[in-house]
Structure 1
Amino acid sequence: MPRSSKLSIEQINLLDYGSSATKSLDQTMSGAITVRAYDPQVVDLIPEDLKDPLFVYKPTVPIENQAWVSWGDRIYATGKLAKLKRGDLSLHHLKQERIIPKSLAAIFPSLGDRRKATIAVVGQLPAGEWASRDELSRDLTQALKEFNTPLGVYKVKATVIFMPEGAGIVAYKEMNDPNFYDKSIASFIIGFRNLSALVVEGGVQSIIRSSKWGFSALVQDVSDHVKEQSVERLTPILSRAFNPPYRLESNVLLDRRPFFEITHARSGAKQVQEVDQLVAAAEAALERYLKSAIGWMQGVVNELSGSCDEVILSGGTAETLKRHFSKRWMQQFPLYSFHAELSLPTSLDDKELGVRLLDPYAALMCLSPSIFDAITV
């Protein structure tokens, strides 16, 4: 039997492949953590594309704004560079098709001049891609062995670990709740693209499932009921309207003010009328969305073998619609929390990602000691 030897891990790259942003938490052996965020777009390229002046490396431009990666016969632009090439936001096909280029593009900036490195990659997969984890692990490990970037060729030896979205929050509960193994816990991650469920009964994962009820479903509903307002245009407006930085009266569903920014009429009665139509469409869409999303979550809870002891709601959409979920969920199921009461150190929130970093941060905190101490080959 071959002997095992300690694999000297130089850093951990924890990756969250969100539809609104790819988030990377990079931790070195010293414990220092760097947060990076990248636009989610990815676009396929051909070799001739790299001759375009757009792809000439510019030292004064942040590398994440000019990232492309290639391995084998595949070439992709990612982030802002892909956006300029009209990259796909990946709402209408499986994320797994874009996970490897997103991973490579998030990893090489953290390595800088270290063209050879030994790292651990921890990727958080949506429930819909969980079945592909073994294939993805193999393909990402292979791609990392040698890939090209604007900074040159990298050769990376990697241990790749995938975990389902929400597993970080659940791992945090396991470490901090003395009654964890006596509980049935349903963790729901409500993001932009999906609403996913991770259910743990007595410490054992029993349900991993995904649905279409992310924030994009609500935004699309509004877009379908108003004239000439795209999902891209409506998304930031609705986020601010549903979650303004000040308190709304309990009977007020949203803040009207952001809608004035996207009306076609720029002043007067016509603009007010247009805002009224947008607000009415948003309020009606919210009612339909909450009914569908909460109904789906209640259906998952009903599948548990016994009673559900705790529900955790997390993700960016859970925070955006927090007061609405609180009001409706309390009527359905009173035992719940947001983000398992976990908070993010302010030193890590320099990208203003807030609660969207909580699940990957919790995963990193729970996994890094064992990764740095115990990985063998």
Structure 2
Amino acid sequence: MAKTSGKAQSRKIVLTLDMGGSKTKAIVQEYPEGKPQVLLMDSEVADVARASVEGIDTEGIPESRAWVGVGGEYYVLGALARHQFRGISQLKELKYELAVPKVCGAIWLAKEKLGLENDVSVYLNILLPPGETQDKVQLETRLKEVFRGFETPAGRMRVRMTYYNVASEGSGVFFHRRRTSGGAIPTSMFVMVGYRNASAFIVRSGVPSRGITSDLGMSWLVNNFVSKTSGLSPDNTSIVEVLVEAGASCDSQVLQKLSRKRKPDEIKADGESMSKALLLVRDEYWRAMARWLRSRREDDVCELVFCGGTADYIRPEIDAYFEKEGIPISWHGDIVIPDIASSLGNRMTDVVALHEHMVLEFDRVTNYERSQSLFDAPTVKPDSVTDIEVKANTSTRLVPNYAPRPVPKEFLTMSDKI
């Protein structure tokens, strides 16, 4: 790795970024010895005039006042975009097209969290759907141009991109599984199901294929649910949280939280009608997902690796279906989420694992010997490992408890070389 020239060397950071449809998720650290930190921002973006950013409050946590000026265009990000400027997630836009302001915003947020100066060097890793990774050269060119100087709440920032990498969604889970298995991976299909889309790629002889992407993310289910109910908007950010809480049984009492009625009997009726709608929507969603997987899975695939928060949501259906098919399932590559990323659970699996992989690669290339783990082992242990009962589409069945198991001693040991 080349060192930054000049009298005062800019500090180096490793930034691994997942621009999800519901959250922009990132892991950042100073390299080599800094401890990783999680950066989270809501996914909304809004383009605004310069006069708009001049009036933004300079107080408060950085996540609530993020904006960037890029080439004379100004963008507000996250909670600020949603609450003050009616920003939207723009799920129909390619993630690549929104990448530049989001990357610049993440670098500014990293600067604030790590106490950096306005000049930084970055090892940048970005997760994109397989169908968008071919845009990586155009994105690199655009980022290099923008990094010469862009505006932020802390003034003009300049970034030296020491390293640049774009990886397909699911790559972090793949790299972790390859390392922990000693490279002996059976022919597998890795399936990442997030809020915006679902992606898949096949690994043969340890080599991943290019992969494909569909629109079968959680947003597909939410839009279908909203179309079958009254008084709801897909822009309501609490819908997903309530649907997840309602579980596989589509608990009507939980779904009452989405009712806009005032009378108790009307609220109860809303919950019951939403429960019926959600049961049907789950069934329709899973059938669509199963058709897509059948069309993409090849005959020699002997294992499926599922990851992503939406995959967890339909886990009962996935387990039941592939149990009948006789195909083993691996969940999230058996990765245990460290405490710093535990707030989002398995939604952080891919970005955490890719960050770990890239830091290991930098250590290998620079011959850096790391004496301790990059991430601290989780401190919260599951209360129980007994099976729990959930109701799937048509019948009641027992499925394993999905609480994380204790972390293996060898997990994230940084002296492990690839």
Q: TM-score, normalised by structure 1?
A: 0.88
User: In the alignment, what sits opposite 2:109?
Assistant: 109
User: In the alignment, what sits opposite 2:88?
Assistant: 88
Q: What amino acid sits opposite 1:270 in the alignment?
A: E
Contact 1:242 1:321 in 2 (8 A): no
* C-alpha spacing 1:80/1:180, structure 2 compared with 1 (3 Å): same
Alignment of 1:306-345 (within 5 A): 307-345=300-338
User: In the alignment, what sits opposite 2:357?
Assistant: 366
- Measure the CA separation in 2 of the matches of 1:266 and 1:333: 49
User: In the alignment, what sits opposite 1:49?
Assistant: 52
Does residue 237 (structure 1) correspond to residue 242 (structure 2)? The answer is yes
* C-alpha spacing 1:333/1:45, structure 2 compared with 1 (3 Å): farther
User: In the alignment, what sits opposite 2:393?
Assistant: none
1:108 to partner: Cα distance: 1.2
C-alpha offsets along residues 175-224 of structure 1, whole Å, 9 cap, x if unaligned?
0113535x211110000110111222112222411111111111111111
1:12 to partner: Cα distance: 0.2
Greater Cα shift, 325-334 or 135-144: 325-334
C-alpha offsets along residues 60-90 of structure 1, whole Å, 9 cap, x if unaligned?
x011211110122221111111112011212
* C-alpha spacing 1:34/1:237, structure 2 compared with 1 (3 Å): same
Q: Which is richer in helix?
A: 1
- Measure the CA separation in 1 of the matches of 2:340 and 2:149: 33
2:273 equivalent among 256, 265, 277: 277
1:16 equivalent among 18, 22, 41: 18
* C-alpha spacing 1:179/1:77, structure 2 compared with 1 (3 Å): closer
Unaligned runs of 5+ in 2: 367-418
SS in 1 for 2:337: coil
Greater Cα shift, 65-74 or 6-15: 6-15
Contact 2:286 2:314 in 1 (8 A): no
Contact 1:173 1:180 in 2 (8 A): no
- Measure the CA separation in 2 of the matches of 1:356 and 1:369: 22
Does residue 346 (structure 1) correspond to residue 330 (structure 2)? The answer is no
- Measure the CA separation in 1 of the matches of 2:158 and 2:265: 62
Does residue 122 (structure 1) correspond to residue 118 (structure 2)? The answer is no
Alignment of 1:139-218 (within 5 A): 139-158=142-161, 159-178=163-182, 180=184, 183-218=186-221
Identical aligned residues as a percent: 23
Does residue 34 (structure 1) correspond to residue 29 (structure 2)? The answer is no
Does residue 299 (structure 1) correspond to residue 299 (structure 2)? The answer is no
Does residue 134 (structure 1) correspond to residue 134 (structure 2)? The answer is no
SS in 2 for 1:231: coil
Give the aligned CA root-mean-square deviation in angstroms: 1.9
SS in 2 for 1:343: coil
User: In the alignment, what sits opposite 2:408?
Assistant: none
